[in-house]
Amino acid sequence: MTGQWNELLCQYFKTIVLKVLGPYFNRLGFYEKMSEDDTGVFFFTSEGLFVELSYDPELSPAYTPSVIIGMGGRKFDDAGQSQCVPLWFVIPEKAIERPYSSWRFASEKQLEETLMKIQSEILDKYAMPLLRNENLLKEKINLFR
């Protein structure tokens, strides 16, 4: 099964995420770390806030992006409670950016374009207010739970 799962992985995901969004997050004081299952890249702050960019391997070969904002340095606390919220949840239903999580990429070029669009249309508008206001982030996480 492991071999079959590995065939679904997006081999270029980490490289392109770091190329496109690494400088953006580094300027904001974040550092990067690959997820344990190799399907995502985390950007952390020293305060334990994080942004995870990932994809669902089961959608291979046309993946969709996922952006999660969290706190506490990990997705779940010791009790199994979510410490994060998917970015689609905080985007208003009628907003034109809402369907970003259905944007597809099946090549390095498409992923690069998708990530540039996420940076220019989504991150500053919807992620940064949460990362700058821990109480607002907690509120959104609690609403998502």
Task: Confirm if 119 and 112 have CB atoms less than 8 A apart.
Answer: no
pLDDT tens digits, residue range 100-126? 778 899 999 999 999 999 999 999 999
Closest CA to 42 of 21, 12, 64: 21
Average confidence (pLDDT) over 73-80: 77
Residue 36 has a pLDDT of 66
Tell me the pTM. Answer: 0.87
Residue 6, Cβ density class (10 Å: 0-12 exposed, 13-18 middle, ≥19 buried) = exposed
Q: Per the structure block, which two tokens stand in for 131?
A: 């990362």
Number of domains in the chain: 1
pLDDT tens digits, residue range 16-53? 999 999 999 999 998 888 776 667 788 888 788 999 99
Residue 3 has a pLDDT of 58
β-partners of residue 53 are: 41, 67
Domain that holds residue 80: 2-144
Whether the predicted pLDDT of 12 surpasses 80: yes
